[in-house]
Amino acid sequence: MAATRGEPDPQPPLSSSSASEIHVRVNSRRAIHPVNIPTPPPAAAAASPVVFREVKHFRSWVPWLVPTFVVANTVMFIITMYVNDCPKNSVSCIARFLGRFSFQPLKENPLLGPSSSALQKMGALEARRVVDRHQVWLLVTCIWLHGGVFHILANMLSLLVIGIRLEQEFGFVRIGLLYMISGLGGSLLSALFLKSNISVGASGALFGLLGGMLSELIINWSIYTNKVAAFVTLLSIIVLNLAVGILPHVDNFAHIGGFLSGFFLGFVFLIRPQFGWISQRYAPPGYLTTSVISKFKKYQCVLWISSLIIFIVGFTAALVLLLRGFDANDHCSWCHYLSCVPTSRWSCNSNLGSCNSTQFGSQLNLTCLTNGKSSMYTLPDATSSQIEGLCSQLCS
């Protein structure tokens, strides 16, 4: 973010005989910010050396959790490709020299990745399985799966750029919770709207980090300089990324749900104390202050309490509605445009294809029930995975 942390307003200079200065480390780059302390008695001032102390609320953390998330997502993608085993389960594959790690045909998966059936086996999000079979864990497992090479590259690069900076600033506990809960919030909203498709990816959690960055800037507004420019820049990035979600085959409901979760949680997890309170707390013994400064400003407390209530109520309501089989599309006829806007160049119909199949010896006849197309294949003893892959291509 372009904003830099400001310092407390300097007080009038004091003479060397009557003033003492304490230097407190207060930002992640370990820069030293002077904090003026009220004048002590002359004897104490003469005996008090300059003290250097690090403020724990602004310490710099060594990022390890975000890189671990990147490794975990990469490992899960490799395992998914191993389970996919394109040469065995599909008629044609891309990069067949990779063996069982080769990719599905581009017509079936343009992201260079596995088949839908492989993603389903690994734990892709399907609303009907969550509701009818009570497989609630799919709301979490889908966060660690990706649809292809392009998909995981885009998400992991974004996670490194955004997540490492946040982990350095706020530590692995808060950022880890923000990431996971935001991903879960994205899955909840996705399952409430997308009833016939599967959904995978960490982008809901990533949008949660973006939402957290925005709320962190708002709740810590008084300690930033260049705050308006930072706010406009960050908001433009968020709007641009959400706008990309109106393209087909992109689950923008997961993006929106993750962003809203991260936005409200950011007020709770990423709040910082004001500098005046820090000056008092880290003052050496013997220094007297004229007034007691509260740790947080009133507007910070209001935002913290209201955001926590809104998140708990919204998250609980979404989970209860989902488990009861609630279909949000029945109550919002225009909401589907938030995830895809149809144009003359593309269609928003991304439902999984369904086909009738007939096997005569080595001849397999498929008819797509979605578009009415039929095709004949020479494929003796076709497996269900092969038929599903061919059906997906025929219906696309």
Residue 105's nearest CA partner among 393, 376, 374 is 393
Q: Which of 102, 115, 146, 255 is catalytic?
A: 255
60 tagged catalytic: no
Cα(338)–Cα(257) distance, integer angstroms: 12
115 tagged catalytic: no
Cα(236)–Cα(232) distance, integer angstroms: 6
Helix H segments across the chain? 42-47, 65-84, 86-89, 116-122, 127-132, 138-141, 149-170, 172-193, 203-219, 227-244, 252-269, 275-281, 298-323, 384-395
Q: Which residue has the tokens 């003796």?
A: 380
Tokens for 171?
Answer: 């530590």
Strands 374-378 and 4-5: unpaired
Cα(364)–Cα(359) distance, integer angstroms: 5
Q: Which of 187, 203, 307, 339 is catalytic?
A: 203
Cα(376)–Cα(363) distance, integer angstroms: 7
Q: Could you give the residue numbers annotated as active site?
A: 203, 255
